Amino acid sequence: MVKRLGKGKRVFDWIDQKEIKIPPLRDHIRKGALTRLSVSKMQLFEKCPHAFKFYYIDGLKNLKDSEAMLNGKTIHDMFYYASMAKYPELIRLDKDYPAFEKDCENFIKFSRNRMVYLGTSRPYLAEYEIYDEELDVLLYIDRIDKLKGGIEIVDYKTGKVHGVGIYRFQLALYTYFVEKHLKEKVIRWGVFFSNAGRYMGEPVDRKLVNMIKNTIASVRTKMENSIKTGAFEKRSGPLCNWCNFRHFSLCDGVGVNKEPSFFGELDWYRGEQKEKKAAKKKVKKIKKKR
């Protein structure tokens, strides 16, 4: 387990903040085995095993990242340093601030709300790294806040706002390992959408957390079977439009269209379908009245 910057580190200006060196994980942990799991690796395999093959088996990791991915990395880095500063407004001194002014101003408001909510704008832990040797899982958690009676896990997202349901698998995964390594109970989790300036939080769903260990075993088994047989199914869907492998003509994006099976994403998918059906019923009722 590696802890980056924790409670008690006082930083008073942006230059000092940017000079902080984050200790890297040991090489054998960072590089990892093919079946060493992380959130991104599990999600990629579940969404499209064919893309997983390109990235992890064929080693096509050097393709140019999308602009959205690069922007997301930059914003996360800015949020990390700003969250640990004495005043979150210091983020305005960053050279990249003009390009991401909206996200940064929303983050300042979020930090000030945390001040009212928690008594401090600084997180209990930021950019927290966990390597679980027993299950061979490596995680990076954006923010952990200390509450009365437990802690709250917060994940930063730079894209458009979705319901928490699509992220519940990721949040439950974080909860399971945070409780295992920190020995403290997680009572809430949530997602901060920086572009919209919206935070969506909720109490922890214990049923989902209790499913995590079996879910990890299931994904690893499917992954190992694909590696042994060389069979990596191609799955198509809306995310194909943002796939690097399609942009570089390595994949035509045509494959079997399957529902995601992670419980959080499936909850979101089902909820979205229910909303569409309800909207259609309302339209039909209005037409009938006319």
Q: What is the pTM of this model?
A: 0.80
pLDDT digits (tens, 9 = 90+) for 148-170: 899 999 999 998 888 888 899 99
pLDDT digits (tens, 9 = 90+) for 7-43: 444 444 555 555 555 555 556 566 677 889 999 999 8
- Whole-number pLDDT of residue 22: 54
Name the token pair of 9.
């580190």
- Whole-number pLDDT of residue 15: 54
pLDDT at 88 over 70: yes
Domain map of the chain by residue range? 5-289
Q: What is the mean pLDDT of residues 85-114?
A: 94
Show Cβ contacts of residue 8 under 8 Å, excluding neighbours closer than 6 positions: none
280 or 221, higher pLDDT: 221
- Whole-number pLDDT of residue 98: 96
- Whole-number pLDDT of residue 174: 97
- Whole-number pLDDT of residue 241: 78
Name the token pair of 240.
């194909």
CA dist 287 and 83 (Å) reads 52
pLDDT digits (tens, 9 = 90+) for 219-256: 999 999 999 999 999 988 777 877 888 877 888 888 77
**CATH label, 5-289, candidates 3.30.70, 3.90.320, 1.10.260, 3.40.1350:** 3.90.320
Cα 153 vs. chain centroid, distance in angstroms?
A: 11
Closest CA to 142 of 131, 152, 156: 156
- Residue 283 phi, psi dihedral angles, 5° rounding: -65, -40
pLDDT band at 173 (very low <50, low <70, confident <90, very high): very high
Show Cβ contacts of residue 109 under 8 Å, excluding neighbours closer than 6 positions: 197
Cβ atoms of residues 216 and 137 within 8 Å: yes
Q: How far is CA 65 from CA 72, 138, 140, 194, 195, in A?
A: 11, 22, 20, 21, 20
- Whole-number pLDDT of residue 53: 93
- Whole-number pLDDT of residue 18: 55
What is the phi-psi region of residue 113: left when phi exceeds 0, alpha when psi lies from -120 to 50, beta otherwise? alpha
Name the token pair of 208.
């989902």
pLDDT digits (tens, 9 = 90+) for 57-85: 988 876 776 777 888 889 999 999 899 88
The helices-and-strands tally (H runs, E runs) of the chain is: 10, 6
What residue type is assigned to position 29 of the chain? I
Cα 146 vs. chain centroid, distance in angstroms?
A: 20
pLDDT digits (tens, 9 = 90+) for 105-164: 999 999 999 999 888 889 999 989 999 999 999 999 999 999 989 999 999 999 888 888
